[in-house]
Amino acid sequence: MTNKNGAIFGALSLTIVCCGLGLAGAEPSAGASTPAADRAAAQAINLRSKDLPGWQQYPNQTSTSDRQLSHQLFACIGAPDPSTAAVVHVSSPYFDNGQAGVSSDVTVMRTRSAAQADFVAMRGPKLVPCMDKIAPPYFKAQFPAGTKLSAFRVEALTPSWLPPNGYAYRLAMTISAKPKGAGAALKIGVVSDAVDFFTGRAEVDLSTSQEGGGAPNAALEQRLTSLLVTRAEHEAGPLG
């Protein structure tokens, strides 16, 4: 698949991050923080090309349908509109290496208490059943008519290296389609992981995907998570 299709599966991770933005009211940020400083800190944390040598880099864009999916998820899990709780949301480029894809996002909340409330909610019991309900129709709408989705599942992950202030989820599905003139249907499996953690007012998300069989590379996920944690700790002052 192309990088565009790979980015679609990363939309789950983006949605999981975005849905946590509205669980607290808009309170003033502590200290001398400004939106410009928060954006600079978020950009300093995110993945960049030197972190994934040899990978292709593409713009990471959020579509209208991605935002609609996010709002559906807000309603399903009982979260209010996120626009009042977040200061900035910054994405890395989308990195592609054949059948594997990687990206990161950093969302900075207005207050530490808002970020903590998000962490509690995102580890709550509603996210998985809500994604089971909402995500399949969203993904089906991204593909040509006649495309079928099967073996869809969302599950929580608990890798040993997960930060104590983090959580992780995995989405898996099989996509089947029969191109015009083809003798048989084409079938491909896709697995996408979201690894998230909080530092001060910041929520950091790592999204990885693997197409064609197997799961995303666990060693790569661990290395990139460690890198993001180190950068987030370095920016802890502005994001406290």
In single-letter form, the type of residue at position 94 comes to Y
Q: What percent of the chain has pLDDT over 70?
A: 81
Q: What is the pLDDT of residues 31-77, one digit of tens each?
A: 557 999 999 999 999 999 999 999 999 998 767 777 778 778 777 87
CATH architecture classification, 3-239? 3-Layer(aba) Sandwich (3.40)
Which mean pLDDT values do the consecutive 10-residue runs of the chain (240 residues) have?
36 39 35 83 96 94 74 71 76 94 92 78 84 87 83 93 92 84 78 93 94 93 97 87
Token pair in block for residue 119 = 């962490």
pLDDT, residue 33, reads 77
pLDDT, residue 14, reads 38
Token pair in block for residue 133 = 């309900």
Alpha carbons 105 and 109: distance in angstroms, whole number: 13
Evaluate whether 183 touches 211 at the Cβ level (below 8 Å).
no
pLDDT, residue 143, reads 79
pLDDT, residue 85, reads 74
Total-model pTM: 0.82
Domain boundaries defined on the chain: 3-239
Q: What is the pLDDT of residues 205-226, one digit of tens each?
A: 999 999 988 999 999 999 999 9
Q: Are strands 202-211 and 186-199 parallel, antiparallel or unpaired?
A: antiparallel
Distance, C-alpha 97 to centroid of its chain: 18
pLDDT, residue 60, reads 82
Q: What percent of the chain has pLDDT over 90?
A: 43
pLDDT, residue 21, reads 32
Q: How far apart are the first and last CA of the chain?
A: 40
In single-letter form, the type of residue at position 230 comes to T
